[in-house]
């Protein structure tokens, strides 16, 4: 049964102005759905929240990979010099160059880094793409597995086939239940039920079986290098250091995945999707869900999701409220 | 009775990824609601779609005002040199300076204009704010009406009181039905039922009574200077020249108002609001509504709302479909 979706309401002068709906699934270490809001079975794309899974073949194939390079492979980075340096190092490890990256090109997400390029009259390269670390890691995973590097981004390539299987295996669904689209960076984007993605994050929170050592390394890399996962002022980077035992990853179109090691109910995996893709609602939902799961929400965390709206003149003009009522199984 | 809201669906690899909901009201020259989708009575903020009303006291007080200055007063401009020149001319007309503007500051919406500022290491001024023309016009309206210019942006100022009354008068509702918040540029933002805002645009399409000459001038200024209303590549600017007899105005949080002079059902006013504030859905809804109203939709117009999604590498990764079923009264 589908419950009522959660809401994030933007109000101006006491009148609701815009409303986002959200679906949430929470899964425990045993893989059970323990709480949800809205449609926990919604089939949707984790997008970049899939990156910890997409980095698994890399972690498995390159046991000696430094943590920072594993982190950049899991990142949607902001294109600062620090991000580029680590992505470049990972790229060089397979003897690849920026011309081998199939992610395309966009200006750095970090406004300062973008302005620096403009000031120098330089164009962004594929290395500035937020997914360049993931792509560099994919090239290295191919090289170490003896798979051709050419075509590494294509749906039929052995690496992408393996990543799809890993989504199914960790998500507890059949491979046929993992549907495939193409992502903003041209690799396959997989769609699966929201609770299956929550299960993937539960596996990251409480690794089991053969994949456990690689999942442990990914969890450790993400949390130790939260700056590399996103960038200055961005949600993953700011939130992870504030919540002990949290590995979190944003995905495009307002997806979010959280692996929580330390909650009153033990390790949990969380996945949520804001139905309209409205990214601005994400921090509000993330905090509401953490609070509902009994994770202490501090003032520093609340600053990530301001309850008041300010205008261009710095004047307070409205409020933002998240109503995310979890139903417990 | 509230009908089912319209939808704009973003699909990736055959799987719906994000969905926007939309409410639409269509009003004829007599002020009747003739068609709608979703909740035509939704109380919401037209935001900058109110600018033609906010410019009315200016048009009434300054009969000799050149069309381009009246247009910039109705604009959410992109901050190009051409926009700034007209806004500056309007500002000087009341002996005001950029320091008198209460709109606040943001970088120009036009990426080239913003990059130019960055390259010159200059900071944006209130003149770059998309509402600077409206504010310059408000200062002149005050000067000509003998109202103090100081505090022109405040809720209790005679100019803002008059603008609220005009919303009620043109919208066919009581003043008490016009609720007030504060806009991004610090002047009052009024909230009223969607069909009342559609009625305002119907009045702009088919002016009547005492206000008719001023409304005619505003319609003429907006359509003759569509570049000034928004800017390069933006919806109002591109759409108006393609649809004879259309004055259109975007508002923040994905509001849209259209005054249509030439449809098979005569002059019509349209207002719609995308419920979550998702701006990207607006051109798709605008074209769907125009088509439903019997306005010919050309290939050039369809290019404003591409039915396919491309990623950073220029690859086709999905589709966008608008389902806006108007119910006729």
Contact state of A317 with B183 under an 8 Å Cβ cutoff:
yes
Residues of A in Cβ contact (< 8 Å) with B76: none
H or E segment and range at residue A327: strand A327-328
Q: Record the tokens describing residue A44, joined without a space.
A: 């949707």
- A168–chain B nearest CA distance, Å: 17
Alpha-carbon gap, residue B72 to B135, rounded angstroms: 10
Per DSSP, the three-state class of B211 is: coil
Contact between residue B139 and residue B149 where contact means Cβ atoms under 8 Å apart: yes
| Angle between helical axes of A158-171 and A132-145 (0-180°, round to 10) | 110
Six token digits for residue A119? 């000031």
Query: Given a cut of 70, is residue B1 above it in pLDDT?
Result: no
Q: Choose among A10, A21, A189: nearest Cβ to B12.
A: A189
Can you name the residues that pair with B328 across neighbouring β-strands?
A: B35
Cβ-count burial B244-282 (b if 16+ within 10 Å, e if not): eebbbbbbbbbbbbbbbbebeeebbbbbbbbbbbbebbb
Q: Residue B3 has what pLDDT?
A: 81
- Tokens matching residue B89: 């001319």
Q: Considering only CA atoms, which of A165, A161, A242 is closest in space to residue A200?
A: A165
Average predicted confidence (pLDDT) for chain B: 97
Q: How many CA atoms lie within 13 A of B86 on its CB side?
A: 28
Virtual torsion, Cα A280, A285, A287, A293, nearest 10 deg: -170
Instruction: Give the tens place of pLDDT for each residue, A205-229.
Output: 999 999 999 999 999 999 999 999 9
A281: closest CA among A327, A325, A324?
A: A324
- Note the pLDDT tens digit of each residue in A85-118: 999 999 999 999 999 999 999 999 999 999 999 9
How far is Cα B113 from Cα B297, in angstroms, rounded to an integer?
Answer: 31
Output the CA–CA distances (angstroms, integers) from residue A67 to A56, A248, B178, in the order listed: 13, 16, 58
Q: How would DSSP label each residue in A237-301?
A: HHHGGGSTTEEEEEETTTEEEEEES-STTSSEEEEEEETT--GGGHHHHHHHHHHHTT----HHH
Q: Could you give the CA distance from residue B313 to residue A102 in angstroms, rounded to a whole number?
A: 8
Please tell me the least confidently modeled range out of A178-192, A241-255, B306-320. B306-320
Output phi, psi for A321, to 5 deg.
Answer: -130, 130
How large is the average pLDDT for residues B278-298? Answer: 98
Please say whether the beta carbons of B10 and B19 come within 8 A.
yes
pLDDT of residue A2: 65
Query: Does the beta-carbon distance from A15 to B275 stay under 8 Å?
Result: no
Question: CA of B16: which chain A residue's CA is closest?
Answer: A44
Q: Can you tell me whether residue A61 is helix, strand or coil?
A: helix
Helix (H) or strand (E) holding A134, with range, is helix A132-145
Interchain CB distance below 8 Å, A312 and B18:
no
Q: Which residues of A touch B311 (CB under 8 A)?
A: 104, 182-186
The region that residue B81 occupies, defined by phi over 0 for left and psi between -120 and 50 for alpha, beta otherwise, is alpha
Nearest CB to B317 within list A18, A182, A254: A182
Span A26-57, pLDDT tens digits: 999 999 999 999 999 999 999 999 999 999 99
Predicted confidence (pLDDT) at residue A63 exceeds the cutoff of 60 = yes
Q: Which of A10, A7, A5, A8 is nearest to A310 (CA)?
A: A10
Best B47, B116, B313 member to test A by mutation, with max A CBs in 10 Å, is B313
**Chain A residues inside the 8 Å CB shell of B312:** 103-106, 129, 184-186
Position A143 scores a pLDDT of 98
What does the pLDDT average to over B217-245? 98
pLDDT band at B314 (very low <50, low <70, confident <90, very high): confident
CA distance A241 to chain B (A): 30
Residue B262 pLDDT: 97
Task: Report the distance separating Cα A284 and Cα A254, nearest Å.
Answer: 12
pLDDT of residue B2: 65
User: Which residue of chain A has the CA closest to B46?
Assistant: A17
Q: Where are the alpha helices (DSSP H) in chain B?
A: 51-54, 56-61, 67-73, 81-92, 111-119, 132-145, 158-171, 194-205, 212-224, 226-229, 235-239, 282-292, 299-302
Q: Which of A121, A129, A189 sits opposite B312 (nearest CB)?
A: A129
Instruction: Give B189's contacts in chain A (Cβ within 8 Å).
Output: 12-13
Q: Kindly state the percentage of chain A with pLDDT values over 70.
A: 99
Nearest Cβ partner of B182 from A18, A45, A311?
A: A311
Please report the DSSP string for A72-97 in residue order: HHT------HHHHHHHHHHHHTTT--
Cα-Cα end-to-end distance for chain A: 12
pTM: 0.96
- When pLDDT is averaged across residues B105-121 and rounded to a whole number, the result is 94
Nearest to B186 among A102, A277, A313 (CB): A313
A194's enclosing H/E stretch is: helix A194-205
Question: What pLDDT band is residue B275 in, cutting at 50, 70 and 90?
Answer: very high
Q: Is B41 exposed, middle or buried (0-12, 13-18, 19+ CB in 10 A)?
A: middle
3-state secondary structure of A202: helix
Nearest CA in chain A to B13: A181
CB < 8 Å to A106, chain B: 312
pLDDT at A301 over 90: yes
Per-residue pLDDT band at B6 (split at 50, 70, 90): very high
Interchain pair B103, A313: CB under 8 A:
yes
Contact A295, A243 (CB under 8 A): yes
Is A256 in contact with A272 (CB distance < 8 Å)? yes
> Which residues on A lie below 8 Å from B38 (Cβ)?
none
Q: How many CB atoms lie within 10 A of CB B81?
A: 10
Cβ–Cβ under 8 Å, residues A313 and B102: yes
User: Under a CB-based contact definition with an 8 Å cutoff, are residues B133 and B118 in contact?
Assistant: no
pLDDT higher than threshold 90 for residue A314: no
ipTM of the complex: 0.96
Sequence-distant (≥ 6) Cβ neighbours of residue A231 within 8 angstroms: A77, A78, A79, A80, A83, A109, A110, A237
Supply B111's token pair: 């990426």
Max CA-CA distance within chain A?
A: 61
Q: Are the C-beta atoms of residues B224 and B212 closer than 8 Å to each other? A: no
pLDDT at A3 over 90: no
Q: Do A103 and B14 touch (CB under 8 A)?
A: no
Alpha-carbon torsion (B78, B82, B86, B88), positive or negative: positive
Q: What is the pLDDT of residue A329?
A: 92
For residue A127, the Cα-to-chain-centroid distance in whole angstroms is: 19
Summarize pLDDT for A263-299 with one digit per residue, the tens.
999 999 999 999 999 999 999 999 999 999 999 999 9
Reported confidence tier of residue A313, pLDDT bands at 50, 70, 90: confident
CB contact under 8 A, B129 and A278: no
Nearest to A184 among B43, B254, B312 (CB): B312
Residue A213 C-alpha, separation from nearest chain B C-alpha, in angstroms = 33
Gap between the terminal Cα atoms of chain B: 12
- Quick: pLDDT tens for A116-128: 999 999 999 999 9
Compute the Cα dihedral for A96, A97, A98, A100 and give only its sign. negative
User: What domains can you pick out in chain B, each with its CATH number?
Assistant: 6-328 (3.40.710)
- What does residue A31 show for φ and ψ, rounded to 5 degrees? 95, 5
Of B184, B276, B313, the CB nearest to A312: B184
């Amino acid at each position: 049964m589908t419950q009522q979706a959660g809401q994030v309401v933007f109000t101006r002068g006491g009148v609701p102005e815009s409303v986002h709906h959200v679906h949430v699934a929470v899964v425990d270490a045993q893989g059970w759905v323990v709480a949800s809001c809205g449609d926990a079975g919604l089939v949707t794309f984790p997008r970049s929240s899939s990156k910890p899974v997409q980095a698994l073949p890399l972690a498995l194939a390159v046991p000696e990979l430094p943590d920072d390079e594993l982190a950049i492979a899991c990142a949607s980075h902001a294109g600062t010099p620090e991000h580029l340096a680590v992505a470049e190092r990972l790229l060089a490890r397979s003897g690849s160059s920026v011309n081998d990256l199939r992610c395309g090109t966009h200006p750095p997400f970090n406004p300062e880094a973008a302005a620096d390029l403009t000031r120098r009259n330089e164009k962004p390269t594929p290395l500035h793409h937020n997914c360049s670390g993931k792509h560099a890691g994919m090239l290295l995973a191919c090289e170490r597995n003896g798979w051709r590097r050419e075509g590494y981004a294509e749906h039929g390539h052995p690496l992408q086939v393996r990543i799809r299987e890993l989504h199914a295996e960790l998500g507890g669904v059949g491979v046929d239940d993992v549907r495939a689209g193409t992502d903003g960076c041209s690799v396959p984007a997989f769609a699966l039920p929201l609770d299956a993605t929550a299960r993937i994050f539960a596996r990251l929170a409480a690794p089991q079986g053969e994949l456990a050592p690689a999942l442990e390394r990914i969890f450790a890399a993400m949390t130790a290098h939260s700056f590399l996962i996103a960038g200055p002022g961005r949600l993953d980077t700011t939130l992870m250091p504030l919540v002990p035992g949290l590995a979190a990853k944003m995905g495009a179109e307002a997806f979010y995945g959280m692996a929580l090691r330390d909650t009153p109910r033990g390790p949990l995996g969380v996945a949520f999707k804001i139905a309209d893709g409205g990214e601005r609602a994400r921090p509000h939902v993330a905090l509401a869900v953490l609070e509902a799961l009994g994770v202490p929400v501090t003032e520093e965390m609340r600053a990530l999701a301001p309850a008041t709206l300010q205008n261009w003149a710095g004047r307070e003009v409205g409020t933002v409220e998240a109503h995310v009522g979890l139903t417990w199984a």
